[in-house]
Amino acid sequence: MDLLYISGLLATAAFAASGVLAALGKHIDLFGAVVVAVVTAVGGGTLRDLILDAPVFWLRDEAWLLVAVVIGCFAFFLRSQLDRYGNALAYLDAMGVALVAAGALQKCIELGLPGLHGVALGVITGIGGGLIRDTLTSRDTLLVSPELYATPIILGLTVQYVTHQWFGLSNIAALFLGGATIFIFRALAIRLDLRMPSRFVNQWSE
């Protein structure tokens, strides 16, 4: 079992738990919560594989769905404890985004795609599951929140690509460096409420 596979399963678990937390406050039963967990967990990777015209990953290995279902159930029954941590959803999302986005870029590198394409697909993959989760639970998506969200992903993926392609860092080392950059930057944005300077933010409102 390689590190890339393990990191993917960790991302699946993080996204599944975030899906259940996003459903808190809704009149949703266990099975509904698990559906949200599964869709959140596999949504980004499914978009990635469809764009790359590759076999959808969770159709070839039942471990992905199994992890999503099990973690979804655990998160549902432990929802009161998890809800005590006010930013648990945001941090779980940050972990999932970091691992999934970095994994998507690594896949693009292995396929020989240009760096810009790889970074773009990494961003799409990273935010895909969360966008679906927030839509299903009628939440304001993190993508359009005032906090830095897409910026840490782009920065981390750029670090990953440059250190691998230009400085010869190994695939796995670059992947975890990129993922760590995304998570740390995103965690700082959550903790310190970091935002883009106002001149780069759309101020228009109805």
Alpha-carbon 36 to chain mean position: 15
The answer to whether residues 187 and 91 touch, using CB atoms and an 8 Å cutoff, is yes
pLDDT tens digits, residue range 6-62?
Answer: 989 999 999 999 999 998 877 889 999 999 999 999 999 999 999 999 999 999 999
Residue 194 vs residue 83, higher pLDDT: 194
Nearest to 27 by CA among 138, 133, 135, 129: 138
Helix (H, G, I), strand (E, B) or coil at 62: coil
The answer to whether residues 144 and 86 touch, using CB atoms and an 8 Å cutoff, is no
User: Taking the CB of residue 51, how many other CB atoms lie within 10 A of it?
Assistant: 15
Which ranges of 23-139 would DSSP assign to H, the alpha helix?
30-51, 57-60, 63-77, 79-83, 88-110, 115-136
pLDDT for 44 equals: 96
pLDDT tens digits, residue range 141-187?
Answer: 877 777 789 999 999 999 999 999 999 999 999 999 999 999 999 99
Q: Within a 13 Å sphere around the CA of 68, how many CA atoms are in the beta-carbon half?
A: 26
For the cut 60, the answer to whether the pLDDT of residue 206 exceeds it is no
Give φ, ψ of 195 to 5 degrees: -135, 160
For the cut 70, the answer to whether the pLDDT of residue 86 exceeds it is no
When pLDDT is cut at 50, 70 and 90, the band that residue 203 belongs to is low
pLDDT for 65 equals: 97
Nearest to 120 by CA among 148, 82, 153: 153
